[in-house]
Amino acid sequence: MSTINVERNPSEDRLKELDVSSWPIWSKEASEFPWKYDAKEICYLLEGDVVVTPDGGEPVEIKKGDLVTFPKDMSCTWEIRKDVRKHYTFE
């Protein structure tokens, strides 16, 4: 099973290399919901505090400033503890 990869506070060079600032922004209020990734997603949290728990896996904390990669075909539950704004892209 693929895992969630979290890069804490990536460098400006890393963000520029990925062209993160050109990605769309997604926002969501505090809530909890199931999610399935149909494609690999990379996102960069501008705001928020989230716990993502893969089905049958361990919870992963994601916070402002984290660059996160979610694997294709992963099913999980998102628990947004503080409203989220993130840049995102699918591969």
pLDDT of amino acid 2: 66
Average pLDDT over residues 13-39: 98
Question: Is the pTM higher than 0.75?
Answer: yes
pLDDT in tens, 43-59: 999 999 999 999 999 99
Helix, strand, coil abundance in the chain, percent, nearest 5: 10, 60, 30
Question: Which CATH number is associated with domain 5-90?
Answer: 2.60.120.10
pLDDT in tens, 57-91: 999 999 999 999 999 999 999 999 999 999 999 99
Tell me the CA end-to-end span of the chain in Å, nearest whole number.
18
Q: What are the sequence ranges of the domains in the chain?
A: 5-90
- Find out whether 45 and 62 touch, Cβ atoms under 8 Å: yes
